[in-house]
Chain A
Amino acid sequence: MTVYMRASEIIKKPVVTLAGEAIGQVKDLVFDSSTGSIRCFTLAGRGLLAGPLHRALLWDNVHGLGPDAVMVRADSALEEDDTAARPGDGDRTGGDVLGVALTTCGGRRLGDITDAVVAMGRAPVVAGYEISTAEQRRVLLPVAGPVTVSDERVLVPDETARYEAADLGTFEEAAENLRGSLRRAPKEG
């Protein structure tokens, strides 16, 4: 069984070394738009007046992600800078998906993204999004199959709209059903 978390549950978690020292807190989740894989976190300092740390934490250097903290072995687990979190040359994405429109390939706007759903595990991936619909409902939609992420919208197959979940407890079933639907009709969307 896959464990799912909202990105907002990960953001602001303290980053703690195995020596018990809190060295920052998670600011952004950075993911690969082509695979959904979480690549790294950007960090902010601890305390009200602290700003961004400008040091990235690669997922490979995360020792553990628990309910209350992101654990790293030592301060040296952080990158020297945040280059890993910046878009590469010629990269036209690199935008925050929060607030952008989730739209089907058929041109139907499903809502605005308010959060992302992360499938946890050894290699966590963005497995879906929470959206706010035109009727002001918050629903979770899984992503599978062709997904295009730009800085203005996230495009998903048309079938996605049929597999909404009300909460994380029913999200896995919705994701399974969507994957099954796309397997049966691989050329749609």
Chain B
Amino acid sequence: MEWWIWLVIALAAAAALAVCLLSVQARRRSGGVIAQGPGPRAGGGRHS
């Protein structure tokens, strides 16, 4: 194969890897609102 085809393949693979890494990183850093406490039960919790 021509050398430039390998170059295109390598660049495409690098771009795909970068997208994967960025999405994993965004997921690691994304925030949430975490409920903590006793599990669900009859007459459960009471917010103020």
Contact = CB atoms under 8 A, between A and B. Distances in A.
Interface of A: 7-8, 11-12, 26-36, 39, 42, 44, 48-52, 85, 87-88, 90-98, 115-116, 119, 125-127, 143-151, 155
Q: Which of B34, B38, B39 has the most CB of A within 10 A?
A: B34
Contact of A145 (B30, B36, B39, B46): B46
Contacts of B29: 27, 44, 50-52
Contacts of A39: 36
Interface string B6-47: 000000000000000000010011111111111111011111
A49 to B, nearest CB: 7
23 contacts: A8-B31, A27-B31, A29-B34, A32-B36, A33-B35, A33-B36, A33-B44, A35-B46, A39-B36, A48-B25, A52-B29, A88-B36, A92-B40, A93-B39, A94-B34, A96-B33, A96-B34, A98-B33, A125-B47, A144-B48, A149-B44, A150-B39, A151-B35
A147 B47 contact: yes
B40 A148 contact: yes
Interface residues of B, number: 21
A65 B46 CA distance: 25
A116 B34 CA distance: 10
A151 B45 CA distance: 14
B48 A35 contact: yes
Contacts of B36: 30-33, 39, 85, 87-88, 91, 93-94
Given A28-B34, A44-B29, A116-B33, A146 B44 contact: yes
Nearest to B39: A92
B33 A93 contact: no
A115 B32 CA distance: 9
Given A32-B36, A34-B45, A97-B32, 14 more contacts: A27-B30, A27-B32, A31-B33, A31-B34, A34-B37, A34-B46, A39-B36, A51-B29, A96-B33, A126-B33, A148-B40, A149-B37, A149-B44, A155-B40
